[in-house]
Chain A
Amino acid sequence: MSRVNDFSIRRRLLALLLIPTAAIAALATYSAYRTTLSPFEAAYDQDLLDAALAVASNIEAGRGARPAISLTPDAVKVLRSDSQDTIYYRVSGGDGRFLAGDAGLPVPHQRIRNPTFTDSAYQGEPIREANYRVITPAGAAIVTVAETLHKRALARRQVLQSSLAVDAAQLVTALIVIWFGVGFAFRPLRRVERQLAMRGARDLDPVTTDGVPDEIRSLIVALNRLLRALQEAEQAERSFLENAAHQLRTPLAGMLAHLELLAADSAPAEGERVRDILEGGRRLARTTHQLLALARSDTAARTLVNLEAVYLPGVVEAAIAPRIGAADRAQVEIGAQIEPAETRGVRWLLEEALGNLADNAIAATPPGGSVTIRCGVAEDRPFIEVIDTGVGIPPAELDQVFERFYRASNARKAGSGLGLAIVGEVARMHRAEIDIAAGAEGVGTVVRVTFQRSIQL
């Protein structure tokens, strides 16, 4: 459920269900409104009709040939009394002529059913009329009773409001149920997610499909297939490198051992030549070692290796101890400046990187010079540093020194040009920064590897 591309099944499902659910709710509201409203309308119409009938019962045969109305003012008052609406009435003759009441009240066409209800307007307000036709001894008369629509509007509003409220509540409930229902339905997915999150970075074991819903089982199966392929590829690469290391180093070790003995046993003239061969063999061995280290750090950087807390003074010690002899032979004084410091990383790779920096420093330094390996914390960040009093790196070549097999133009000794490439690779996988600068007063080189403050590789 990544938020990165804003795609969410829950939101999608909600959007898909919202439109039909809302449409059904609207339809239900309308239908409830109509059903609930019609008895109200009928009752109000009946009231109007009752009033019309009451008026009609007061029509008598008047003088002459016209019906007469015998409504007392009190009776008219009762007729017109209503809490909300204004009541109008009119009595017309059979020919539509005004007889009594509100003269302006519109009268429908005469040939109507009896009684009849019409919607009309009077004094600029909509009204509802009930018309009743009576036959009196004096002839036909039409009684019209009308009222404004306030009551009806109120009833309509109330009916609408209540059905709207019910349906809106239903809609909201449905959406809430969907929202949480989706969350609930996705709980097994969350469980899988947690399971994956809790794994060690190196853990490529298959994810269990127990208790996983059908919908994502195929996803898990595909994931497991990928994990297995990764595991196999990594295993194959590792065993290839192990075999390569063994197959390259074993004959080299034997050869070098014999050459070393031969060099010691030979007569001076031959001994010189054997020592040259031995020197070449050692370079070959060293390059082999560096290539293997580079390949392994490559693999380590690409695959996820387990990081451990690495105490940097231990790394410095491990880099210096095996090089005391080499420094002595080069007449270079080697030493350390150690402050407590710790980082997270792969210990053997850090030792390999620092060892290469130390080798370079010793090789670059003329007899009488010194090499100092430091570790410590600067500005909250752990670092290791190698300082030499050697020939330095030409500034123009600083960009190239991390390239594989690149050798500085002023290199004092033969080398493979792989040392800094290894350092670069190891720094990259530890997300460390490398700074190369000239030493104090422009003499020698300072290489500093600065690690992250808090390592989350």
Chain B
Amino acid sequence: MRVLIVEDEALIANGVRQGLLRAGFVADVVDNADAARAALQAEGFDLAVIDIGLPREDGLQLVRSLRARHHVLPLMMLTARDGISDRVSALDLGADDYLTKPFHVDELVARCRALIRRAHAAASSALEFGRLRLDIARKEVFSDGVSLDLTQREWSILECLVLSAGRLVTKDRLMSAVSDWSDELTPNAVEVYVSRVRAKIGEAAQIRTVRGLGYQIREPGK
């Protein structure tokens, strides 16, 4: 998997690159928006990590121009500014995720992986997480290659969790994820479904409860 890092600060660019290399990615670095567009034009990438504070043309403008050209690759934004406006405008312009500097390299890698996983799921209709493999087209789950028997609702909940792997998924979101075919689902029912999913997947992945808020799926042993 190949990542383009668009960052003008060499210290950060190298750190991110090392982190991604260690996690098994291939990573290239460019330091401005023009070079980024050229690189993305010439080569196939699975994701771009873009600093918002680029010189001349900033990261937000780059995102806008990429989305205007129908680039579909996942975009991970970095910024040194706080406040919410950058986050909101980045996501509005079509970025997929966002981290504030300084960040933990581990977290950046995990989020990049989640973004790529999601993009691949959309493209190949297969989703791998921990020891689970989800076949999105056929709504089937395999644990270490063994098919698991999930109901439709259980499947939707697992899919929703895996697509947001590593992130907090609120009960409300799970409820709306399964509301396509059931309007009558209560928060209590969601809890019941989650506990069933948890029992069925066993050790293949870990579904953690955040009391009063929602759930988070993690790879086993983490």
Chain A interface (Cβ within 8 Å of chain B)?
A: 242, 245-246, 249-258, 260-261, 264-265, 282, 285, 289, 292-293, 296, 316-317, 320-321, 324-325, 333-338, 347-348, 351-352, 372
Contacts and interface: CB of A to CB of B under 8 A. Distances in A.
A258 B15 contact: yes
Contacts of B2: none
Contacts of B130: none
A250 B9 contact: yes
Contacts of A289: 82
Given A245-B82, A249-B101, A324-B216, A254 B11 contact: yes
B61 interface: no
Interface string B138-162: 0000000000000000000000000
Nearest to B51: A250
Interface of B: 9-12, 14-16, 18-19, 22, 53, 80-84, 101-107, 167-168, 170, 208, 210-213, 216
A316 B107 CA distance: 21
A77 B33 CA distance: 127
Given A257-B105, A321-B168, A334-B211, A245 B16 contact: no
A337 B211 CA distance: 8
Nearest to B106: A260
Given A261-B22, A347-B84, 18 more contacts: A245-B80, A245-B82, A249-B80, A249-B101, A250-B11, A250-B53, A252-B102, A253-B101, A254-B9, A254-B12, A254-B15, A256-B104, A257-B12, A260-B104, A316-B213, A335-B212, A348-B83, A351-B84
B105 A260 contact: yes
Given A252-B101, A261-B22, A333-B211, A246 B14 contact: no
12 contacts: A249-B101, A250-B12, A250-B101, A253-B9, A254-B12, A257-B102, A258-B14, A260-B15, A260-B104, A285-B102, A338-B212, A352-B82
Given A249-B102, A324-B168, A257 B80 contact: no
Given A254-B9, A336-B212, A337-B212, A246 B53 contact: yes
B11 A260 contact: no
A251 B102 CA distance: 9
Contacts of A347: 84
Give the interface SS of chain A, mostly helix, strand, loop or mixed: helix
Which of B10, B12, B22 has the most chain A CB atoms closer than 10 A to its own CB? B12
Contacts of A246: 53, 80-81
Contacts of A261: 15, 18-19, 22, 105
A297 to B, nearest CB: 11
B190 to A, nearest CB: 14
Contacts of A285: 102
A337 B213 CA distance: 8
A320 B168 contact: yes
B172 to A, nearest CB: 9
Which of B22, B83, B107 has the most chain A CB atoms closer than 10 A to its own CB? B83
B1 to A, nearest CB: 19
Contacts of B22: 261, 264-265
B98 to A, nearest CB: 12
A324 to B, nearest CB: 6
A257 to B, nearest CB: 3
A179 to B, nearest CB: 51
Contacts of A321: 167-168
Contacts of B10: 254
A321 to B, nearest CB: 4
A253 B102 contact: yes
Contacts of A253: 9, 11-12, 15, 80, 101-103
Contact of B82 (A257, A293, A320): A293
Contact of A292 (B82, B103, B107): B82
